[in-house]
Structure 1
């Protein structure tokens, strides 16, 4: 292992392992993002993994990043279009070595802008899921009119049963506490209506279990699509197919809004004058809704922090993904999940087809 920073003790674990080769921008974006992260987290310790020559070239341009990084060479990188099964066989890739560092206790978490499917497959095989969690989920933060909302699952699980949804609720609540700093985040199950009889059996059974659990005071019930941006609850739980569609629909609607605003303010002289008057407010709104602020989806339910940065992000966006990972490490997210799981004995005994009259209760706190 080659060092670029000399302030780290090799006997101590690195805070984060970073896949230096992931994403459309590769090392250029990753190292520039780490330079920004170094200002925000000057005590961070980063194990930067990838093509050593390319990484050192970029670190020479960003001394702040170099000061917090230790470089570990990797012979290969996972292409964005590689199938997960092929990525599993690529044992010397930068993504695999980053996962290995977490599994072996060298690092507390991993951040990559690489192939999502490969990340999930490697995380499940190398880092593994927490005991008591049947499936990891992808969680992320989105803006609302009241603040921020945690959404999960966003694509890791296309189909889910009611047990998965209950587990997602438990993990989403812990995520909102760790990253948003909420003491008692409210939870909603995404459905086609807010009435108790709406939705399929898995949704109704998950809702019944949550109503009879210690999370009952925080469980809002069913929420609809418009409740996501309205900020009706702090956590929105759904299956990966629905969550991914909802997320990308919201992103598309946001982009369309800015395109239409641009067209309106270019439509004539009065419109251009009006734009000059409202520009400060529009700039604040643009900063608030900047997708780079919300970059960094998290695979929750694993034996380590695993953060997926958007592959097409820039340095500022990658730094935001590092922020998310640092928050989760600092606030002991996985330790909180383990503590909750230790009180979830009844949940681990749940089985499909449990009677509706006497639903098993998830014992969490």
Structure 2
């Protein structure tokens, strides 16, 4: 019996080895197939994510300002290209490697114009909305003239000269003027007078629709140096003041005339202008984008030359001071334009 069992076992051994080898081969084929599918799925996932992000960033750019995306060097190890179809569809094409020949697309509900189509993997793509089309480019986009702050070529009005002599008062008056609800240039709105209420607050009397409103503008001193700025005063609060009108008011030169003739920059215009430009951090050349929700406040900045009313723009760890009024080219001394911390420089 034992001899027959040994012979039977010896006879079945090749079958067991063959079965084991076949099973191992099947598992290897199954593993390779699953792994191959996973690699293909990785390309699909990264390509779909890229095209969706392109469409999302393009849509976000319609809120204004310069946007950009850093492009991946490859998609799951495969090379790719980007192009725009029918002026509204982003298309990512797989050129070589896994999923070669496959395309992925995403629609944008706006017209897209390509300015520089040299989109390189590992490079950068820029987006900017100009009012009726989304401009995309492989290089930084230069703001169109309608996005830039225009400076009047005429002789400056009285408020310009007033702001040179009384920069804090001018900043407070401007803050009160633009803080009035639903303010538009054509609205019946005028600044009548101002007075100091205390060492930190200024009262501004505004006439709106035949009604006089007194705004309390409170400011705060700051000794932090920012570039050429030695110190600065910034408006920290504005409120309607319910007080008796028994102050010694000082007449204010026509602010609305300065605004309507281009001699006063509105906060919205300053923010739009800063967002329309490409900025680089001086320390490491990092591209910096001014966000749409950046905080903007009226201020007065002091340099070694003089004190000037300015707009203070703050976002994250960045602070930018930008001129509140353009500087007349006929002036003998240079005026204030721009200072920032960390230091920024415009690329476009």
Structure with the higher fraction of residues in strand conformation = 2
- The structure number with the bigger radius of gyration is 2
| Structure number having the greater helix percentage | 1
TM range (shorter): under 0.3
Higher relative contact order (CA 8 A, sep 6+): 1
Question: TM-score, length-normalised on structure 2?
Answer: 0.25
